[in-house]
A and B are shown apart, each in its own frame.
Chain A
Amino acid sequence: MQRSWLRRVPIIDIFLWAVRIVVIAVILYGSFGTLRQGKYSGEVWIDFVVFGLSQGSVYALIALGYTMVYGILRMINFAHGEIFMSGAYTAYFAAAALTAGGFLNRHPVISMLVVLGVAMLTSTLIAVLVERIAYRPLRRTPRLVPLIAAIGASFFLQYTFRGLFGSGFQAYPTVNVLRGEWVLAGIGILRTQAVVIVAAVLMMLALYLFVQRTKTGTAMRAVSEDMEVAAMMGIDVDRIIVITFGVGAAAAGAAGVLYALVFPQVHFFMGFLPGIKAFTAAVLGGIGNIPGAMVGGLFLGLFESVGPTLFLEGLTIPGVYPAGIPAPYQLKDVIAFTMLVMVLIFRPSGILGERLATKKA
């Protein structure tokens, strides 16, 4: 009898249910403990949320590139983090040149547009070149081949920048207008962060409209539905793929400048971690899905910023950590990636993802 009962409820399901219950219990217990301590006021929590949103919107902008390329080619472009880095790095030279003459602070808006333009242009150019040289010749090969090529391209770009500009870091100039904070409905928001959030949201909106409303966007969606049928309908597939790479890279370049505004340091390795995080965000939201990448990025940023304090600070373990987990912020990556694992276990297609497995793969 017992055996048949076990057969009806597979062990793996029981295990997954146990995981769900444990994780939710830990989160609830920890959050409740933190909130009950009352150590942080409402403003502090709002600050955490704003920090998370600004970090998350940068992740979202980078994630768009991953998700668009995946949507069309079913390929993970691991060089995307380096496209982001190259945008930020070249924009540094533009920004430094503008600062040297004092132009940056006299005409901040024009300068920022120039810097953004330089970054987006460089990123686009590099991405298109990488696509042409490293990916296009491999398009008919098994999927693993372009993936390895992408990793190679990523190293190539990193060490090209290291060779050209040295292994140290460059300090990004700060824009005087963006110092201090704006007060909005009684809440102080750092100017850089407000600009980053607004710029990122505007760019994502533009991109969404581009994909949904323009002819090229429609062609892009057609290619992602079925490349061969799209080609039969008279769509120039190669052109569409180049445009996809270009648009994704432009978003990454812009993200590079926004990132450097908030974290004013650039170096050749800076693309690695944000790249991995953005990839996580893309998977989280459902890879291949543009609104999914945005939602995934914002979620990831929020969890990283709020999570360690909210979940872990109040997580008292009698005997071991009677006062909650010490120094929880160090564990923010653990929280981010645990969340990824949870989403992948319980919703393998991501938050907004479609069931790719049955449809395309």
Chain B
Amino acid sequence: MRHVRLLLALFVALLLAGGSYFVPGAPAAQTMGPVTDQIGVVKINKGQPITIAYWLVISGPDASLGVDSRRGIEIAIDDAKGTLVGHPIRLIGEDSGCNAEGGTTAATKLAANKAIVAAIGSTCSSEARPGAPILWKAGIVTVSPSNTAPVLTAPDRGPDYGGYLRTAHNDSVQGKVAATFVTNVLKLKKAATIHDGSPYAEGLANVFADVFTRLNGAGSITSREAISPTDTDMRPVLTKIAAGKPELIYFPVFIAAGGFIARQAKEVSGLGSVKLMSADGTFSPDFQKAAGEAAIGMYNSSPDLSPEALGPGYKVFLDKHQKKYKEKPISAFHPHAYDAANIIFAAIRKVAKKDAAGNTYIGRKALRDALFATKAFKGLTGTLTCNEFGDCADPKIAVYQTISVDPAKWNPGTNPKKIYP
């Protein structure tokens, strides 16, 4: 008996040792046509399409966030006349579901497709956390139009995120604007925060709470609560918050849970006159549908989409949007997606090489380096310059107040009305 075990142990050890032989080491440089690249080369035969992928939330309660971004990408492709370095652009995509599992699945599917040159996504930071490393392992660089969690571009993010950039603002900016607005404009001294455990919501709620505490002194945050994104009954947590008597509840969560919080806050005794504030994750007519009349008077921090902030280019974009989709943008990250697509296109133009037969070769490492080298790029959202950790945004944050919850009246700027700065 003992001998059998010993043999078994030896066998397992051998297997392990043998297995380690197959674990890939550092990727070897690959040469194809005129291009040599440390990570790999994508070859696009003459006349074949060049593949760009998106991974965004396009179904479920948060679908409006991802669909809005996808429209930005589609308009960018239209503006490029559908071609790039002599090849037609093919846009493919995966639904990422606004959760870690969805992000993993979408990224894994995309990573398996060797034709993909670059990706745009994800929508929610929770998807990018596990998803971006999967893509980067396959050598695919991704630019997110709407991930805002600070952790994704933090200096300690590690080499797994080496292929991740974003054109969305970092929430260390958004949280600060929100806290400053509440303190200086609303002149409120006590606030409570709710997050849903996602990197986006937790990061933003923490930034808000830290800045607010710095501005108003210790104890000005009456409680920091958390829910889970699928919760429907918020009354217990709101009742708990009511015990601390805050003047404002800051809940930077997503549409479904945010709708429940807004509706139920009015029903909890002690919170009748409390002010509500959320962030860009709920800046959508779908949220107004979810929250109903409870959303009237509510504040949202979100990218500043006003003509003063974005310049005349945005007006042209809006006309194209109206013509193509017959409605106003349904969320806030379409210009960021447009810019994400355009910096990718610019980087591809920079690094793509052709051979005599007209085939195109793109080095993956070269593309990544070109993207990180983006400097003073004139985009819709401002002048983009990427830093070494992938933050490319020229952040402009505004605070909006909801005037009406009639979906037909959705028009960011007038309703919800921009009130700060």
Contact B61 A329 (CB under 8 A): no
With A48-B239, A329-B225: A171-B290 Cβ-Cβ less than 8 Å: yes
CA distance A38 to B226 in the complex (A): 21
CA distance A190 to B268 in the complex (A): 9
Which of B61, B236, B242 gathers the greatest number of chain A CB atoms within 10 Å? B236
Per-residue CB contact flags for chain B residues 262-293 toward chain A (1 = under 8 Å, else 0) read 01000111000000000000000010011010
With A190-B267, A264-B263, A265-B259: A169-B228 Cβ-Cβ less than 8 Å: no
* B-chain residues with CB within 8 Å of residue A188 when the two chains form the complex: 269
Q: How many residues of B contact A (CB 8 A)?
A: 34
Which of B225, B227, B239 gathers the greatest number of chain A CB atoms within 10 Å? B239
Instruction: With CB as the reference atom, state the residue of chain A lying closest to B240.
Output: A309
Interface residues in B46-102 (C-beta closer than 8 Å to A): 59-61, 63-64
* B-chain residues with CB within 8 Å of residue A39 when the two chains form the complex: 243
With A44-B243, A269-B60: A263-B260 Cβ-Cβ less than 8 Å: yes
* B-chain residues with CB within 8 Å of residue A41 when the two chains form the complex: 243
Shortest Cβ gap from B291 to chain A (Å):
9
- Which of these, B64, B235, B256, contacts A47 with CB under 8 Å? B235
With A40-B243, A330-B228: A51-B292 Cβ-Cβ less than 8 Å: no
Assess whether B184 is interfacial by the CB under 8 Å rule.
no
Assess whether B20 is interfacial by the CB under 8 Å rule.
no
Assess whether B237 is interfacial by the CB under 8 Å rule.
yes
Residues of B within 8 A of A (CB): 59-61, 63-64, 195, 197, 224-228, 230-233, 235-237, 239-240, 242-243, 256, 259-260, 263, 267-269, 286, 289-290, 292
A-B contact count (CB 8 A): 89
Contact B240 A329 (CB under 8 A): yes
Contact B233 A265 (CB under 8 A): no
Contact A309 B286 (CB under 8 A): no
* A-chain residues with CB within 8 Å of residue B237 when the two chains form the complex: 329
Interface residues in A224-282 (C-beta closer than 8 Å to B): 262-265, 267, 269, 273
CA distance A304 to B232 in the complex (A): 12
Instruction: With CB as the reference atom, state the residue of chain A lying closest to B259.
Output: A265
Assess whether A167 is interfacial by the CB under 8 Å rule.
yes
Shortest Cβ gap from B263 to chain A (Å):
7
Knowing that A44-B242, A181-B267, A263-B232 are A-B contacts, what are 18 other residue pairs whose CB atoms are under 8 Å apart, sorted by A's residue number? A47-B239, A47-B268, A48-B236, A48-B239, A168-B59, A169-B61, A169-B290, A190-B267, A263-B233, A265-B232, A265-B259, A265-B260, A267-B61, A273-B230, A309-B240, A329-B236, A329-B237, A329-B240
Contact B226 A329 (CB under 8 A): yes
Assess whether A333 is interfacial by the CB under 8 Å rule.
yes
Contact B240 A265 (CB under 8 A): no
* B-chain residues with CB within 8 Å of residue A333 when the two chains form the complex: 228
- Which of these, A55, A168, A174, contacts B233 with CB under 8 Å? A55
Residues of A within 8 A of B (CB): 39-41, 43-44, 47-48, 51-52, 55, 162, 167-169, 171, 174, 181, 188, 190, 262-265, 267, 269, 273, 304-306, 308-309, 326-327, 329-330, 332-333
Instruction: With CB as the reference atom, state the residue of chain A lying closest to B293.
Output: A174
Shortest Cβ gap from B252 to chain A (Å):
14
Instruction: With CB as the reference atom, state the residue of chain A lying closest to B59.
Output: A167
* B-chain residues with CB within 8 Å of residue A265 when the two chains form the complex: 61, 232, 256, 259-260, 290
Contact A327 B61 (CB under 8 A): no
Q: Show 10 A/B contacts (Cβ-Cβ < 8 Å), sorted by A.
A: A44-B239, A44-B242, A47-B268, A47-B269, A168-B63, A168-B286, A181-B267, A264-B263, A264-B292, A326-B226
* A-chain residues with CB within 8 Å of residue B240 when the two chains form the complex: 40, 44, 309, 329
Contact B226 A51 (CB under 8 A): no
CA distance A265 to B61 in the complex (A): 10
- Which of these, B61, B195, B239, B268, contacts A168 with CB under 8 Å? B61
CA distance A195 to B99 in the complex (A): 35
- Which of these, B236, B242, B256, B260, contacts A51 with CB under 8 Å? B236
* B-chain residues with CB within 8 Å of residue A52 when the two chains form the complex: 236
* A-chain residues with CB within 8 Å of residue B225 when the two chains form the complex: 327, 329-330
CA distance A215 to B256 in the complex (A): 45
CA distance A331 to B266 in the complex (A): 24
* A-chain residues with CB within 8 Å of residue B235 when the two chains form the complex: 47, 51, 305
* B-chain residues with CB within 8 Å of residue A181 when the two chains form the complex: 267
Contact B260 A168 (CB under 8 A): no
* B-chain residues with CB within 8 Å of residue A305 when the two chains form the complex: 233, 235-236
